[in-house]
Structure 1
Amino acid sequence: MFSDYYEQIEAIVLNLTLLVLFAVMGYAIHDVLKKNDVPMVGRAVVYLVLFLGAAGFLAKGLIQIFYESSGV
């Protein structure tokens, strides 16, 4: 039974790991920015870059879902 769902389990674990990784990176970046008293504009730029990286992974996942459901 485990071998039947191996690819699906692997995909779920990968997505959860990436989610945790982005959360830890966000916390680390927040801590560094807070300790170094970075201005609000700098913080906004850093968080925007982190968000765009996460959004890229999300877009990749959605594109994969659409391709696999259409049979490509």
Structure 2
Amino acid sequence: MAQQSKEPCKKEACDIQACLSKNNFIPQRCLKVIELLQSCCEKCNYNSTHCASVSGLLKQSHVRNP
């Protein structure tokens, strides 16, 4: 019987880390994977330790240069 993951958004969080590593840790270059984590966190009611960082990432990713 398959067990539900205790960390439902782990894959998305790992994808963000990989994207950031490839893109010199510039969140603006990883918006799609950040949005996937946001979506996952919404679906699981933020019941994952990986959701704690999503709000900070979203704030960083939406900063625009004047």
Structure index of larger Rg: 1
What TM-score do the two structures reach when normalised by structure 2? 0.39
Which structure has more RCO (C-alpha within 8 Å, separation ≥ 6)? 2
Q: Name whichever structure is richer in helix by fraction.
A: 1
What TM-score do the two structures reach when normalised by structure 1? 0.37
